Amino acid sequence: MQAIYDWAQDLYQRTGINLVFIYEEYERVRFIEGLQNTLWLAIICVVLSVVIGVVGAWLQGSHFRVLRLVVAGYIQFFRNTPPLVQLLFFYFALGKTLENLGVMPMYDAGGWQQPLIGNFGWAVVSLSFFAGSFNVEIFRSGIEAVPTSTREAAEALGYTRLKSYIYIVLPLAFRVSLPALNNNLVNLVKTTTLAYVIAVPEMMYTANQIWSDNVNVPEMMATLFIVYVTLVGVLVWLMHRWERAMRIPGVGQTA
Amino acid sequence: MIQRLSAFALSVAIGLMAAGAAQAQCKNETLKKVLDRGKIVVGVKADYKPWGFRDTGGNLVGMEIDMAKDVADALGVGVELVPVQSSNRMQFLQQGKIDLMIATMSDRADRRKVVGIPEPPYYTSGTNVLAKKGMVKSWDDLRGKPVCGKQGAFYNKATSQRYGANIVAFVGNAEAKQALKDGRCIAWVYDDSSIMADLASGDWNDYEMPLNTEDDNPWGLAVPLEERSCLFGNFMSGMIYNWHVSGRLMELEKKWGIQPTSYLQKMKDKLDFDRSYLQ
């Protein structure tokens, strides 16, 4: 490790390229925390948004009109407003209102009352629901691609609506939805940078703090780029592996 | 004989050159202009309560406006106030749109190359916090607690490194202050003069600025660069010196409801000399 620190220090002295987050301990700790927060935020939001998509798509086909309307309203609200506005709204308007109404559970952070859902929590809620609203529609497209005859066959075999969704419709729909889902999840990972407006110390926020204190803007910009290219690269690679592992010969592929 | 004559001629020549140079250096045009038109044009802040702001009648008032009037009185001329902003105040002075600038400007080396900043400084500002009354008593009280700040401000790192505060930095001051009001952080760390301005605005009556200011940076007023070492610059140095010694700045601080700074007392003690031999 020390060798890498020395290399970065030496690089700065020789070329003026200041990778301060490698050789200075304070900045290094900040940087790693930022990276961890971005990873956590991305993983939690990806999982939650897929769950929201699966559940939402099932509710869309419900027999209850009210449920269908609720899902439609949810999609309209989250898909049609900018994620930046949502983050600010959730954190500053909704969060505070819930606290004022006494609905928000509080916990004691060392003689200091903090709401259970803080800025990280609101970022998770807002980003998951934002990406989830797209996922609902993505899964709907997959569900609609499942032939009616297949669903009728399941019904004839005595499957309930939920059972047929879980065992017959969703497994087929999922495979059809995966390419579109990929796109949306990649977008979601990139959108986590917006959480810096509500002071979630993720990668973007941390890079901003580091370049403000060290005036190494180009270096940090380049670092940000590399971090996100790597992060999205890993996600895409995983999704492709998953897609291949789930392939059913003869379904959805002509070759 | 010839040697002596030439030495004489040389010394005369040098003397003339020196005189010429001195003349070229100090044309004192600004001050002449001011006295000719019987009015000094002073650039002041219009949005920085209580140093320079507009009262309900739309007039520019504040501590620095009072200082501008003192200067006009000492010159025996009238005063015209021109509102300036941090981003254009030095250009206004360079272009001759104003004769003098008193606009909450920090005295920094790069600025001294652009405008003439006479010594001593007349005020100072540094890092402090705004917090609910009774919440914070010392800088160490911030340890491990969330402290709101503005993204990019240099005090963030200093406060977290020195006192272990957990800085929660927002994009703008409005968001940071809203988060403080919402109880999401124990304090808001920023420039003390800006915090004083907030306290003076009356919107923060349950709040206080409880700590000793750190990382002080003095403020300088400015004259055109070429006149710093000439009549105008020296005159302003005298004005500032007397403001400090007479206690006029402390009086103005009190008049405008600014929390007294130890800096003014320190400067008064430092600049005031022992007059006991006169008795």
Do the beta carbons of residue B219 and residue B115 sit within 8 Å? no
Do the beta carbons of residue A176 and residue A252 sit within 8 Å? yes
Pairing of strands B146-150, B60-61: unpaired
Task: Say if residue B169 is exposed, middle or buried (CB neighbours under 10 Å; 0-12, 13-18, 19+).
Answer: buried
Q: Check whether the bond before B121 is cis (ω within 30° of 0).
A: no
The ipTM estimated for the assembled molecules is 0.77
Residues in contact with B30: Cβ distance below 8 Å, sequence separation at least 6, in sequence order? B96, B99, B223, B224, B227, B232
Tell me which amino acid residue B95 is.
Q
pLDDT at A224 over 90: yes
Do the beta carbons of residue A154 and residue A146 sit within 8 Å? no
Q: And the tokens for A12?
A: 């700065």
Q: How many helices (H) and strands (E) does chain A have?
A: 12, 2
B102 three-state secondary structure: strand
Q: And the tokens for A50?
A: 């897929």
Do the beta carbons of residue B102 and residue B64 sit within 8 Å? yes
Residues in contact with A105: Cβ distance below 8 Å, sequence separation at least 6, in sequence order? A115, A116
pLDDT at A125 over 60: yes
pLDDT at A54 over 60: yes
Per-residue pLDDT tens digits for A133-168: 999 999 999 999 999 999 999 999 999 989 999 999
Q: Which long-range contacts (CB under 8 A, 24 or more apart) does A174-177 make?
A: A174/A139, A174/A142, A174/A246, A175/A142, A175/A243, A175/A246, A175/A247, A175/A248, A175/A251, A175/A252, A176/A141, A176/A142, A176/A145, A176/A146, A176/A252, A177/A138, A177/A139, A177/A141, A177/A142
Q: And the tokens for A139?
A: 């899964």
Average pLDDT for residues B223-228, to the nearest whole number? Answer: 93
Residues of B in contact with A119 (CB under 8 A): 168, 184
What is the C-alpha to C-alpha distance for residues B52 and B65, in angstroms, rounded to an integer? 6
What was the pLDDT predicted at B14? 55
Q: Do B175 and A92 touch (CB under 8 A)?
A: yes
What is the C-alpha to C-alpha distance for residues A69 and B149, in angstroms, rounded to an integer? 42
Nearest to B222 by CA among B113, B69, B72, B66: B113
**DSSP for residue A92:** I
- Which of B151, B169, B186 has the CB atom closest to A112's CB atom? B186
Residues of A in contact with B179 (CB under 8 A): 92, 199
What was the pLDDT predicted at B140? 92
What was the pLDDT predicted at A145? 92
What is the C-alpha to C-alpha distance for residues B95 and B92, in angstroms, rounded to an integer? 5
Q: Do B154 and A199 touch (CB under 8 A)?
A: no
Nearest to B236 by CA among B112, B124, B110, B100: B100
From the CA of A197, how many Å to the nearest CA of chain B?
A: 6
Q: And the tokens for B243?
A: 């403001």
pTM over 0.80: no
- Which of A95, A112, A199 has the CB atom closest to B168's CB atom? A199
pLDDT band at residue A204 using 50, 70 and 90 as cut-offs: very high
pLDDT band at residue B240 using 50, 70 and 90 as cut-offs: very high
Indicate the average pLDDT of chain B.
Answer: 87
Backbone φ, ψ for residue A218 (5° rounding): -60, -40
Cα angle, residue B32 at apex, residues B26 and B36 outer, rounded to 5° = 170
B259 three-state secondary structure: coil
Pairing of strands B78-84, B100-102: unpaired
Nearest to A72 by CA among A59, A88, A87: A59
**Structure-token match 């000719």, residue found:** B36
Task: Mark out chain A residues that contact chain B at CB-CB < 8 A.
Answer: 26, 92, 95-96, 99, 110, 112-114, 118-119, 196-199, 205, 208-209, 212-213
pLDDT at A251 over 80: no
Per-residue pLDDT tens digits for B114-143: 899 999 999 988 899 999 998 899 999 999
Q: Do A205 and B179 touch (CB under 8 A)?
A: no
From the CA of A47, how many Å to the nearest CA of chain B?
A: 27
Residues in chain B: 279
Nearest to A206 by CA among A4, A29, A9, A42: A29
Give kind and range of the element (H or E) at residue B191. Answer: strand B187-191
Position with higher pLDDT, B199 vs A187? A187
Cα angle, residue A20 at apex, residues A9 and B192 outer, rounded to 5° = 135
Per-residue pLDDT tens digits for B90-104: 889 999 999 999 998
Compute, in degrees rounded to 10, the torsion defined by CA atoms B41, B44, B47, B51.
-130
What is the C-alpha to C-alpha distance for residues B72 and B236, in angstroms, rounded to an integer? 11
Nearest to B137 by CA among B189, B212, B216: B212
What is the C-alpha to C-alpha distance for residues B239 and B231, in angstroms, rounded to an integer? 12
Residues in contact with A140: Cβ distance below 8 Å, sequence separation at least 6, in sequence order? A57, A60
Q: How many helices (H) and strands (E) does chain B have?
A: 11, 12
